[in-house]
Structure 1
Amino acid sequence: MKIPKTSWTLMYNVYKQVIPAVHEFLDEWRKRAETIPNSELRTQAIMSIESKAFHCEGGAIYALLAGSHFRSAARFIVAYQTISDYLDNLCDRSTSLDPEDFSTLHQSMLDALTPGASCKNYYEHRNDQDDGGYLAALVQTCQACVKSFPSYSAVQEENLLLAGLYCDLQVHKHVKKEERVPRLTSWFDSHKKALPPMAWYEFSASAGSTLGIFCLTAYSASHSALKPEEAALIKNGYFPWVQGLHILMDYFIDQEEDREGGDLNFCFYYKNEEEMLKRMEHFFKQAERSLRKLPDNRFHRLINNGLIAIYLADDKVKNDRELKNKGKRLIRSGGAPTLFFYLNGWIYRRRSGT
């Protein structure tokens, strides 16, 4: 399988290879979720699959980097993203505000990246416990996939670094409202020496993406002798700029919804909307620059263009004139590839009803 280098070939492979594989694996997990004994855990597991399938569709594009291991890489990405979406639902809709609970739940995301790690009682600090082995099965599926990839040992350290940031973010952002910003700013202060100039909420956004993990893992499947320094190059290509752009776009389209719900949204912390748009354009340009250093950089830069497009094709943007006008500015930043992916994303969402 050749790695796509143009907008057309990428979209062809997405429709022909990626989306069918994603839905095959998601159907398996949905059937498993339907058997969860505890009603609350069952509801959240099913909802996370029904409402967030597009996360798996987008993430599994990285399986195209895995060569003959495409299906195993796609299986890993779907399972790992399903863990992420399921835990996000549990934390967002939780009656618990206990950081220890959130930390124990997210230990599953670290175990999933560690072949041989034993599964724990991830629900130890909450009332709802019996998932019939659902979360453990997701973790073990991830472990089995990465164990079969010839160069996984070369990327594991970088994967765990990115996953550690992701898990820390999920703990800090789900505690009591009055504790969230102080925790997040203190966390940022402990990391900012190693970062380019950015605000605490931009660092938080950069930590909240799984794209770097998917990219690293897919490369570990297709390369027989990947070196740790090559893994570091790939990680640095994605963190912080690409991952930050990914999550800022997610928050960008959710602003009205989060304002109504009183939820944390990193876009709210910019001084004004002009600053927000300028910074998002900056993240896009910096992401372009960092991706040029990677192997297969044309593929990665197409993904960067697609990040803007896939979010701006959402109905939340279509139905909000002000958001739509701001979105047009971001599409112009991405140029022709972004416009192409935007039109494709718009058509696909209407056909699939997502």
Structure 2
Amino acid sequence: MRDDRTAPRRREGGRGRGRPPWTADEIPRQDGRTAVVTGASTGIGFETAAGLARRGATVVLACRNPGRAARAAARIRAAAPDARLGVLDVDLESQASVRAAAARFHGDHGRLDLLVNNAGGVRPRYALTEDGFEATLATNHLGPFALTGLLLDLMLDVPGSRVVTVSSIGHRRGAIDFDDLHGERRYRFQTAYFQSKLANLLFTYELQRRLAAAGAATIAVAAHPGNARTEFGRDMNPVVRAAMSRWARPLTSWLLQSASRGALSPLRAATDPGAGGGDYYGPPGRAQFTGNPVRVESSPRSHDRDAQARLWRESERLTGVAYPLPAGAPSRSGE
């Protein structure tokens, strides 16, 4: 296993460390910038889109349900009448839908400043997509991988452009099973979800290495929202959802935070002028459940360069999307 961490990350202060928490008030003006936020009809995606729109960005809500996306846009406009918004119909489970959405975006826009790969989910029962991919992996990784690759040409020369991918603290329990990537031998929804969230970080780090090797203006950044109250898991069994809700309700003061607070992590990754390629933002502390975002460290597995490169190659093979970038630079150790 080759580790891509070549220098220690600067630690950031949380409570009591002399630095005030990062809030939405610190988002710079985004006038003239165009952003795509996937899964923007609800939860973290909605709050991220709303935060960008309030600061002047043109925000395209990329969602699988056009009606929900239109209602989300109306909610944002009600609070920010001058918001510039658009809707893009895309189902990340479907490679055909991803390609059609990318083509539509190319037809409507000449550049892209910010792509927030936020949409995600988990299937409680095993399911294959029309492309033959396990559905959780398709939605959380292969769809975003393809969408990013198909839109990247609109970003490479745009100063300050970023690809932000939303992972999860659950990635720490994840492992990539390259021999059973689609869970055909044994499927557990938790395992599939954790694998896909680890894939988000492997993708981010490999993408950043390739962007840097190409001398691109774009950087790749990751974030996670901690434990936030959202509609995540709405595809789960209603009985399970209700039980989880009853269990969580007494613990909300310290285990769960609002979607608007959870969205501060991707918003910081997307807009903080001090963010660098390969940075990862989330709530502070050991558990990283709640709190305003700081730069955090991801699991050792996420820094496995061999896994990053192998997942990239497999993702290109499965999706048929080849990025307009050279392969990642070799490690500094020469391994």
TM-score, structure 2 normalization: 0.34
Comparing both structures, which one devotes a greater share of its residues to helix?
A: 1
TM-score, structure 1 normalization: 0.32
Comparing both structures, which one devotes a greater share of its residues to strand?
A: 2
